[in-house]
Structure 1
Amino acid sequence: MNQKPTFDDIFKQNERRIHYQIHKMNIRDPHQEFFQEGLVALWNAYETYQPDKGSMATYFNYMIRNRLIDRMRRDNRRDEIKKLAAHEQQTQYTDGNYHRGTEGARPITANSPLPLDDSNLWKNLQSQLTDKQWKWVNYAIIQEMPYKKIAELEHTTVDAVKNWGRQVKKKLNNPYFHEMLSLDEINMSSSVH
């Protein structure tokens, strides 16, 4: 009569097999999490092994290796989700249309407001900007849309939209550009009233 060995016996004989698979796959395991996965795989293999299907050692290697691969995939997927969530949170926090403070986000208000109803100003400005820069002005300034929404509408990334905004801001900070658009006169006349 061929009696099935106990799991303790199987563990003593195959503990090095788990370490070997971890080492072979170049897994750093300082907290023994992968070893625990390998141990669970060994237990499952012990419970489901059928002698007529093949060698026990081959089956154990197969089960341990695949369990470790599954664990690595789960960990990688979780890390990727964390990175995406952190990036999304950072993007929302650094969206250039809001001041951030302890009381929350509030829209940025201009120190010297541009007359939003001056169609000549907007046409003049539009003529001096690229299509993408004008889209940023239209969406972010005039329509007060968040960068994420602009990126969705334009089928691009939030970083691309931010870059459009940086380009516009660089132009608007140039004194020559102010003179060309007559912004100084508009700001002077609006501050007199």
Structure 2
Amino acid sequence: MSSFAKLEKTYRPMIISMIKKLHVTKEWDEYYQIGLIALWEASCQFEKEKGSFSSFVYKKVYWAMVSHLRRQCHRKKWECALTDGLIHILFDDRTIYKEGIVEQALKSLTERQKKWLIGYIIEGKSLKAIAEEEGVTVGTVKQWRVEALKKLRKQRWE
């Protein structure tokens, strides 16, 4: 058994309790992985003369998870879900049939944003299907969506 495997076995309960302490219910595996990475970093960065290893690991794991939680909250503040109501606002019956409305919408978007708009809204493809076709992650396609919706909201539909 490697030295890191022994560390993982020793500090596994602490990482799990940290996840519970931070009330993480979704993406449990992701936070466990963050804890393992922080444990590995702590094992590389630890200096004996500065204190005990267990307290160093505790702080390292805790702040790694808190930082990730903060990044997620910040990211979610700027993301938006495409709901039926949002589709209705963007393309309601009165505007979709106006001459050139789709072309006008596509004109302001980048190529990738156009791929999302056409694939998701017009062709009804899932984000996963678009990501597979384009050879990117689902998160990348979601970012295309966020940026496209920002641009579309700024446009005036006349």
Q: TM-score, normalised by structure 1?
A: 0.44
Please name the residue that 2:39 is paired with. Answer: 42
Q: Spell out the pairing of 1:1-193 with structure 2 (5 A cutoff).
A: 6-83=3-80, 93=90, 99-101=95-97, 105=101, 148=154
Counting aligned pairs with the same residue, the percent is 23
Larger Cα Rg: Structure 1 or Structure 2?
1
More strand by share: 1
Q: Is the 8 A contact 2:16 2:32 kept in 1?
A: yes
1: CA distance between counterparts of 2:10 and 2:16?
A: 12
Instruction: Give the paired residue count.
Output: 104
Poorly superposed stretches of 4+, deviation over 4 Å: 89-92, 101-104, 146-150
1: CA distance between counterparts of 2:68 and 2:91?
A: 34
Q: Is the 8 A contact 1:95 1:147 kept in 2?
A: no
Deviation readout 1:107-149 (Å, 9 max, x if unpaired) = xxxxxxxxxxxxxxxxxxxxxxxxxxxxxxxxxxxxxxx9847
1: CA distance between counterparts of 2:155 and 2:26?
A: 42
More helix by share: 2
Structure 1, unpaired ranges of 5+: 107-145, 151-193
Displacement, 1:102? 10
Structure 2, unpaired ranges of 5+: 103-151
Q: What do you get for the CA RMSD once the two structures are aligned?
A: 3.6
